[in-house]
Amino acid sequence: MSLPATLPTALFVTGTDTEIGKTVASTALLHALRRRGLRAVGMKPVASGSHDAGQGLRNDDALALQAASLPVPDYADLNPYALRQPLAPELAAAEDGVRIELAPIVAAFERLRAQADVVVVEGVGGWLAPLSAQLDQLDLVRALRLPVVLVVGMRLGCVNHARLTAHALQASGVECLGWIGNHIDPSMQRQDENFATLQQRLPMPCWGRLPHLPHLPGADGEALSAYLHSDHR
């Protein structure tokens, strides 16, 4: 289990559900890429649940990505749509009177890509969570021409959720490079057996297995990046 030797210049991180550790996995990926000597920058195009930090709305997940990035990108490029309410993006945008559109996201992505070797783009919720009444995350992935990495939240039901998501990704015609297991439930029974089942059943390689960390969302991406290397014990 490790990152492949060669990676694309940008990738999209999706998950089996919301609150399963996409940000934890994304920050670990950013640090793993930086360990290779690459300029790695994160992006959270749409983020629900933002607060006013005195310089405009800020989202904790997006801030964690910004802190893990090098060079450090402008927040407005990293998170073009910061929405106040912790709701599905379509509902949160309606609350703010905002219409989520692809053009500002694509423009911000191009600015990030110009300053980095790799851009790690984190999605919102699970793969089929819509961005708006008109936009699915698939539309964003196609517009940015991104391959996908799937984060599997390791908890009861994860095998079903992971296989359903993998089937949806295949049906969408997008390339799924690999998956990362993230142990979000320390009380889950038969963790090793469930992980082994996922390794056997998912049609893409495993990039790593992250341990449970209670202090989300930022966690310690630098420490967790070791779990994405084959030499980790």
Q: Which residues are catalytic?
A: 44
Give me the residue label for tokens 């014990």. 233
Element (H or E) spanning 29, and its range? helix 22-35
Please, are residues 135 and 26 in contact by the beta-carbon 8 Å criterion? no
φ, ψ (nearest 5 deg) of residue 97 = 70, 35
What's the CA gap between 62 and 77, in Å, rounded? 11
Q: Cα–Cα distance between 42 and 14 in angstroms, integer? A: 13
Query: Using N-to-C axis directions, what is the helix angle for 137-144 and 102-114, rounded to 10°?
Result: 40
Task: Supply the DSSP string of 136-175, one letter for each residue.
Answer: -HHHHHHHHT--EEEEEEESTTHHHHHHHHHHHHHHHT--
Residues 124 and 138: beta-carbon distance below 8 Å: no
